[in-house]
Amino acid sequence: MKKFLASALFAAALMATGCVKSPVVGGAYTDVKDGLAVTGNAGSSKVGTAEVKGYLGLVALGDASIQTAAREAGITRIHHVDYQTKSYVGVYTIYTIIVYGD
């Protein structure tokens, strides 16, 4: 019974790794960049980032809002937004939002 519960918990943790925001997810390792949004504003000279970190698929902390990323670089006109997801066996996950603009 204990083995079954341990296996179930491990499976649940692995399933949680599939919860990372990414077009393609790897159960063991994920390192993916993707686009999120584009606006009609022309060009960009500044880049800002913000991130959220997750631990063991149980705890996730941070602020990866577009507003926060824009503020980190003093961006007031957003050109486009990308994101990057990294996950190591679901034990450690990082989601980074990347905002380009002026």
Partner 1 sequence: MAVFFAVGATLAASGQNIRSHYVSKAETDGVIYHTLPVTLFEHPEAGDLTFDITYKEHQTGRATLNFTCRMVRPETVDSVRFISDGVVLAGPVEKLYLEPEKRGWKHRYTFDLDASQLCGFFDEKALPEATLYIGGEPWVYRAKRSAWRTYAPIGYRIFEMIRVNEAR
* Other residues' Cβ atoms within 10 Å of the Cβ of residue 84: 16
Q: Which of residues 28-87 bind partner 1 (CB under 8 A)?
A: 28-29, 31, 33, 43-49, 71-74, 80, 82, 84, 86
9: number of Cβ within 10 Å: 10
Quick check: 88 binds partner 1 (CB under 8 A)? yes
100 vs 41: CA distance, rounded Å: 10
Q: How far is the CB of 60 from partner 1 (least distance, A)?
A: 19
Nearer to partner 1, 28 or 58 (CB): 28
